[in-house]
Amino acid sequence: MVHSDIIRVGVNGYGVIGKRVAAAVRQQDDMILVGVADVSADWRLRLAARMGFSLYGAAPGAALAMQRAGLPVAGDLDDLIASVDVMVDCTPKGIGAANAEVYRRKDKPFIVQGGEKHEVAGHSFVAESSYAGALGRPATRVVSCNTTSIVRTLTALKQAGLLRRARGTLLRRATDPWESDRGGIMNTLAPEPQIPSHQGPDAQSVDPDLDVVTMAVKVPETIAHLHYWSVQMTRAADKAEVVAAFLASSRIAAIRMDDGLTALNSVKELMADLGRPHDNLYEVALWTDMLRVQGDELFYAYMVDNQAIVIPETIDAIRALSGRIAAPAVSIARTDSSLGIGALDRLGPPDQVGDS
Amino acid sequence: MVHSDIIRVGVNGYGVIGKRVAAAVRQQDDMILVGVADVSADWRLRLAARMGFSLYGAAPGAALAMQRAGLPVAGDLDDLIASVDVMVDCTPKGIGAANAEVYRRKDKPFIVQGGEKHEVAGHSFVAESSYAGALGRPATRVVSCNTTSIVRTLTALKQAGLLRRARGTLLRRATDPWESDRGGIMNTLAPEPQIPSHQGPDAQSVDPDLDVVTMAVKVPETIAHLHYWSVQMTRAADKAEVVAAFLASSRIAAIRMDDGLTALNSVKELMADLGRPHDNLYEVALWTDMLRVQGDELFYAYMVDNQAIVIPETIDAIRALSGRIAAPAVSIARTDSSLGIGALDRLGPPDQVGDS
Amino acid sequence: MVHSDIIRVGVNGYGVIGKRVAAAVRQQDDMILVGVADVSADWRLRLAARMGFSLYGAAPGAALAMQRAGLPVAGDLDDLIASVDVMVDCTPKGIGAANAEVYRRKDKPFIVQGGEKHEVAGHSFVAESSYAGALGRPATRVVSCNTTSIVRTLTALKQAGLLRRARGTLLRRATDPWESDRGGIMNTLAPEPQIPSHQGPDAQSVDPDLDVVTMAVKVPETIAHLHYWSVQMTRAADKAEVVAAFLASSRIAAIRMDDGLTALNSVKELMADLGRPHDNLYEVALWTDMLRVQGDELFYAYMVDNQAIVIPETIDAIRALSGRIAAPAVSIARTDSSLGIGALDRLGPPDQVGDS
Amino acid sequence: MVHSDIIRVGVNGYGVIGKRVAAAVRQQDDMILVGVADVSADWRLRLAARMGFSLYGAAPGAALAMQRAGLPVAGDLDDLIASVDVMVDCTPKGIGAANAEVYRRKDKPFIVQGGEKHEVAGHSFVAESSYAGALGRPATRVVSCNTTSIVRTLTALKQAGLLRRARGTLLRRATDPWESDRGGIMNTLAPEPQIPSHQGPDAQSVDPDLDVVTMAVKVPETIAHLHYWSVQMTRAADKAEVVAAFLASSRIAAIRMDDGLTALNSVKELMADLGRPHDNLYEVALWTDMLRVQGDELFYAYMVDNQAIVIPETIDAIRALSGRIAAPAVSIARTDSSLGIGALDRLGPPDQVGDS
């Protein structure tokens, strides 16, 4: 690979998503991480510096505050934008929309996260569904963790010709594991006030053909989301066929209750045992022994690591915007290989997958 | 009412359900609580004595242990059985099945709880669905909290001619509020390993016509269960019609998100503010503003107080077994009145119910 | 009692504390609850109306909003103040300080809660320590739940001549049971950033002689606070003497691990079984079998129901401000009797108290 | 280093501690991990195989079950014992005591964990306190996570001549993060029934001179323990002196509230950001800005990662039993370097440590 093939990437916002994107960019042999921009100067940024990331001030005064905190600073946001091929915005909801104007004004391809509206980028991204549409675009939006999981799984059913309509109940972790100031709920469940919840329509921003309705509820845990689905198929099918349809996607991993993976936390421990950074679960982890087919109806549940699932999509989105790789499957395979995606399925004895 | 009309009731097992049944029996003017039997002698039984309940030893040695603990004891289980018209068994799962043999041998009508199998009683009870079938029977089983809520709500839809099939996701509180030794889960979600979960088939033990499939998951809270439903109706309907169908049942109460009842715990606080004993929520509490109709599909969520919902059913079941009251509606109305059921709906401005 | 002896009471703020104060005032035969003022108009106020409380708008526009919500309204805050002998302010932290100016301007005796500073009232109140000092004063402050428990217990040791100095670790419930929007923490512990925490100095606002240092930490539960104490006594003592010193206070209740009261939630369940409104635990519940004396050192733990412990103090404070009853013991006994305080100790076999 | 200097290590029990010990042994350049023994054959062992660990069956039939599950098996426990210089027992509480008889019969030096009694090994180990006493012994016991933290911190004060007596309140995480079946408590706090709790006497099994009393309570979180201490010093000291005494130990790390490390979970996130396996916090993490000196009294709080803190001690204990390295400081430095211990303190600006 010659130097000009390397995609130079900047990350704005070094939080839950930003730090994972930065680490993942570094693991790509066709990308280089130019730096990360942020507005704070506490232990998080000291860790970024320790990781060897170049730091940029993301707002007026931020660079100065970093310097005062003893952090090495490479410049401000404008400097970072000027030095990259693609900007990945990982700032909190709403701020990304404002930043989008800046990137656009500078004619710099950019990615925003799922907290922003579809209109901010004009395109919504899940690799296996909409990579091609993002090729060479000025911007795309990597949809939220929940929506990403919905599009991945329903696309798998759709590609197998099995999907008529899907109705899901989404149990949302109330806040992130590191967070102790905001969003916690204790000994209660808090339904989202509206049915349908926004995730169904959001999935349609990626693929308008999906017939999907979601209901959502906030639950008192921090590890991951959990989805339950009731799907009307186009016809009766047997369980093996359905499982095969799901596992045709490298980003849906089979897990099994009878293997001891009986709850969200044991799956998360498996990720730690795998040695993944931050115990990231990039895949939709779907219980294949729990999955049930009843005539033309299908029932299943899966786990979504809200901190990690969008990381591979973001890497693919960078490639799509850069236009360097046209074939979705090529980018996906490269991302998967770099992040160790697929390891889960290779762990289990293949003859056990899907039977019950 | 002449003395012979009074139903003499005995309660075996003074735990979460037993103590609520005992208190509710006392509030009926056509019943008398002869006493409660149990095997322990700690603060729980001292409270029972303080409430004025006659205590019986439920197992060999139990009466003696109670006496040694300074509790007044009226006799043993045989004495209690001999003194009543109906026995209500509220012992832990599995023990009720053994006790059933004892009651049956003594030819004493009895009720077991939903932890036991249908076969233990040969009849399964939800007042609005199967009261008539229990009339004068030797035994019935008040089904579990989750199943009771399912039968109540689907019966309401069925009676309005709206029900084709129902698919539900059940979020089950992991353990009871007073419990600190068993069943707790922390910062995780634990799916039930089988789909369908047992509640769907269990509902069919009350009404075989119900087309219902359930999936269930244990969640880390202790207050109540929460159900999400996706229902295929027989035809398109408007929201007002569906809400009216639900509220035709006195045991389904309308609550509203926009009234500040936004989570399980605020509804529970409402019960405390109402002054109900143990903050009991006897009704299925269904969010009417969240409920959504989309063509011939219906989506809704409701809360189930697993400690309280079966209490009115148990009172009705006592009457049904006694044969004193033949009309279900008469018993239901009497139970409702004694327990304050219906208060919830009368609280809200009637013109707000159901619109959104 | 002639009519002029009746103390007319107004409650401003119908939240966690306000609703309990209102209910408790109603249970006093020397008080009359004129009404409650608030700024909201949702289910909480509908319940107040249902309880028969007269409602007043606590802020401009509040009365009108109540009327629009179909609630009967008796007037605004000025009307309420004009109709009472004592105002009890139960509004959120900070608002009480502003209200104090209003009450003072109208020359109306008033009580503020522990969220306000000592200076707002100029006097801080715990019945067994500072009742006398509040007699006939224009205002007093019922100190916070934690501080109330500290002053109660250390006063008991002081009166027995045993207290030299006390060092405590306070585990604070993170938010209230009904709350799902604010303050929740999940799967973590959040230390208060400062040692000493504010409760130690706050106890000295009631009794400057107390040598007390506290450290505090927020824990992920909603039921109650839990305090652990390490006390340097003035001399070696035996356990029975220490337990007797504590139980000389009617507002410290003995509970025992070996009676099955092994955690906060089982004690709360005991309150529900006692039939107390809102399961209120008015007493400091102190584990007497866990308490340990080692030479001149004393170690113990107790539970504090942050929603209920200040209710009896507030009732006593009303009497103190009114000047109707001069002897602290007379007011305390009257309050205790009306609220059922003391029931706990009478439940246990007396010969078991304190031994281990 | 010649081959004969390499210590061959076997690990019995591949659970929370065993897998961390195995990984840490591998990181030592003077040790070789011969293999791990266990009794199960689920995903945990598949991960071990994937990590390249040789597997041994730890009980009759275990090797066969592993083979049937498709796992490569190197032998049984006897084979493993025969192949190593030191056995590290990481089996559940009580099983280690039985295994100790086996190791002893085979004359093989061994380490048991803190769940076992002192008598099982006859020596209790914390590197900075009792390394020398373990040199060349047949066995030692690495004490529990809580006890390890107590001995580390009090040894630091003792070595600075500051320690008279220490009184601690220990908040114990209720169960491990991966666990969903046992030990969870929900929305409550469960005090240990006995004061003093066992950790104080257990610390004296390492250093009989420590004057330490502990009280303990189980709290509803899974991340880490949290200790609060009130220490009577030998004399008045200033804060800088005390902080310096603590930080003289490489295994006590300074963290600061004002750096954003405000709760257990943010410290754990810092470990993940550091890229440590399983987010291990090997150090006692002590808040230096929260620490308070008041005359001759000292107050502070620290966090204990119960899954990780004993790992460096176990590595040191292996060296001590092997007799290869006589100087405690040499082993400690080697272990620290291999595990990245010390990184925390080097992160913060040195001039901020300890001031407030």
Buried (b) or exposed (e) across D210-222, using 16+ Cβ within 10 A? bebbbbbbbbbbb
Q: Which residues of C are annotated as a binding site for NAD(+)?
A: 38, 306
Confidence band of C342 (pLDDT split at 50, 70, 90): confident
ipTM of the complex: 0.95
pLDDT of residue A4: 63
- How far apart CA D130 and CA D205 sit, in angstroms, is 10
C180 touches chain B (CB under 8 A): yes
* C239 close to D (CB below 8 A): no
Question: Which residues on C lie below 8 Å from B262 (Cβ)?
Answer: 180-181
Interface probe for C, chosen from B178, B187, B270 (most Cβ of C below 10 Å), is B178
The residues, ordered by sequence, that sit 6+ positions from B342 with a Cβ below 8 Å of its Cβ are: B250, B253, B336
A49, amino acid identity: A
Interface of C with A in 30-89 (CB under 8 A): none
Cα-atom radius of gyration of chain D, to the nearest Å? 20
Torsion angle of the four alpha carbons C107, C113, C115, C119, in this order, in degrees rounded to the nearest 10: 40
- Omega of the bond prior to A196 within 30 degrees of 0, cis? yes
Tell me how far apart the alpha carbons of residues D300 and D250 are, in angstroms, rounded to a whole number.
Answer: 18
Rounded distance, CA C248 to CA C355, Å? 16
Distance between CA atoms of D331 and A190, rounded to whole angstroms? 52
Q: Are B217 and B192 in contact (CB under 8 A)?
A: yes
Confirm whether residue B176 is marked as ligand binding: no
Return the pLDDT at B350.
39
**% of residues, chain D, pLDDT over 70:** 96
DSSP H or E stretch at residue C346: helix C343-347
Q: Is beta strand A297-304 parallel, antiparallel or unpaired with respect to C252-255?
A: unpaired
Look at the pTM and tell me if it is higher than 0.90.
Answer: yes
Distance CA C108, CA C82 (A): 8
Say if C193 is an interface residue toward chain D (CB within 8 Å): yes
Measured in angstroms, the CA of A317 and the nearest CA of chain B are apart by 31
pLDDT band at residue B4 under the 50/70/90 scheme: low
- Are A289 and A258 in contact by the 8 Å Cβ rule? The answer is yes
pLDDT value at C203 more than 80:
yes
- The answer to whether A331 and A320 are in contact (CB under 8 A) is yes
Task: Report yes or no: B67 and B304 within 8 Å, Cβ to Cβ.
Answer: no
A277 CB-near residues (< 8 Å, 6+ apart): A20, A23, D272, D275
Q: Average pLDDT for residues D20-41, to the nearest whole number?
A: 97
Encoded tokens for B282: 């006897």
Q: Residue B2 pLDDT > 60, yes or no?
A: no
Q: Please name the residues in contact with D59: beta carbons below 8 A apart, sequence gap of 6 or more.
A: D39, D77
DSSP state of B184: B
Whether C265 and B347 lie within 8 Å, measured CB to CB: no
**Phi, psi of D272, rounded to the nearest 5 degrees:** -65, -40
Task: Sketch out chain B's domains with CATH numbers.
Answer: 7-143+310-339 (3.40.50.720), 145-304 (3.30.360.10)
Average pLDDT in chain C: 94
- Residues D267 and D276: beta-carbon distance below 8 Å: no
> Phi and psi (nearest 5°) for D98?
-65, -45
How far is the C-alpha of D314 from the C-alpha of D327, rounded, in Å? 16
Please say if the pLDDT value at position D3 is more than 60: no
Using a CB-CB distance cutoff of 8 angstroms, which residues of chain D are in contact with residue A261? 43
pLDDT, tens digit, 9 for 90 and up, residues A232-277: 999 999 999 999 999 999 999 999 999 999 999 999 999 999 999 9
Q: DSSP secondary-structure letter at A327? A: -
- Confidence (pLDDT) at D347: 59
Does B350 contact chain C (CB < 8 Å)? no
For A252, what's the count of Cα atoms within 13 Å in the CB-facing half-sphere? Answer: 26
Select from B188, B262, B289 the Cβ nearest to the Cβ of A265: B188
Taking the CA of residue C274 and the nearest CA in chain B, the distance in Å comes to 7
End-to-end Cα, chain C, rounded Å: 47
Contact with chain C for residue D286, Cβ under 8 A: no
Q: Which residues pair with B294 in a beta bridge?
A: B297
More confident site: D349 or D96: D96
Handedness of CA B88, B94, B99, B103 (dihedral sign): positive
pLDDT above 60 for C350: no
SS3 B135: coil
DSSP state of A184: B
DSSP 8-state code for residue D101: H
A90 is catalytic: no
pLDDT, one tens digit per residue, over B63-98 is 999 999 999 999 999 999 999 999 999 999 999 999
Q: Which pair of tokens denotes residue B78? A: 């045989």
Chains A–B, number of C-beta pairs less than 8 Å apart: 128
Helix, strand, coil share (%) of chain D residues, nearest 5? 40, 25, 40
> What is residue C347's predicted lDDT score, i.e. its pLDDT?
59
Return the ∠ at Cα B148 (arms to B334 and C266), rounded to 5°.
Answer: 90
Chain Cα centroid distance, residue C218:
19
Above 50 in pLDDT, residue C152? Answer: yes
- The owner of tokens 């006097």 is C123
C105–B contact, CB cutoff 8 A: no
Q: Which of B165, B169, B256 to mutate to test the interface with A (most CBs of A within 10 A)?
A: B169
Nearest-neighbour CA in chain C from D274: distance (Å): 20
- Please identify every residue of D annotated as catalytic: 145
Q: Read off the pLDDT of residues A100-127 as tens digits, 9 standing for 90 and up.
A: 999 999 999 999 999 999 999 999 999 9
- Cα–chain center distance at D83: 25
* B291-337 per-position pLDDT tens digit: 999 999 999 999 999 999 999 999 999 999 999 999 999 999 999 99
pLDDT digits (tens, 9 = 90+) for B101-115: 999 999 999 999 999
Residue B280 annotated in ligand binding? no
User: Pick from D187, D215, D301: which is nearest to C265 by CB?
Assistant: D187
Using alpha carbons only, what angle is made at residue B204 by residues B203 and B206, rounded to the nearest 5 degrees? 75
User: Angle at the Cα of D326 (from D321 to D328), degrees rounded to 5?
Assistant: 90
Q: How many C-beta atoms lie closer than 10 Å to residue D2's C-beta?
A: 5
What average pLDDT score do residues D175-186 get?
Answer: 90
Between chains, do A184 and C185 touch, taking CB under 8 Å as contact? Answer: yes
Cβ(A167)–Cβ(A149) below 8 Å: no
Handedness of CA D19, D23, D26, D28 (dihedral sign): negative
**What 3-state class would DSSP assign to D190?**
strand
Please report the pLDDT score of residue C3 as a whole number: 46
- At residue C65, the 3 state secondary structure works out as helix
What are phi and psi for residue A146, nearest 5 degrees?
Answer: -60, -45
Taking the Cβ of residue D201 and every Cβ of chain C, the question of whether any pair is shorter than 8 Å is answered with no
Instruction: Quickly state the pLDDT bin for A346 (edges 50, 70, 90).
Output: low
Mean pLDDT over the full length of chain B: 94
Percent of chain A with pLDDT over 90: 91
* Chains touching A, CB cut-off 8 Å, 3+ pairs: B, C, D
Q: Which two tokens stand for residue B271?
A: 């019960």
User: Residue C205: pLDDT above 50?
Assistant: yes
String of DSSP letters for A229-294:
EEEEESS---HHHHHHHHHTSTTEEEE-GGGT--SHHHHHHHHHHTT-GGG---SEEEETTT-EEE
C128 CB-near residues (< 8 Å, 6+ apart): C151, C152, C155, C156, C249, C251, C328, C332
3-class SS of residue B10: strand
pLDDT for the residue numbered D255 = 95
Q: Looking at the annotation, which residues of C are catalytic?
A: 145
Q: Which of A45, A112, A145, A318 is an active site residue? A: A145
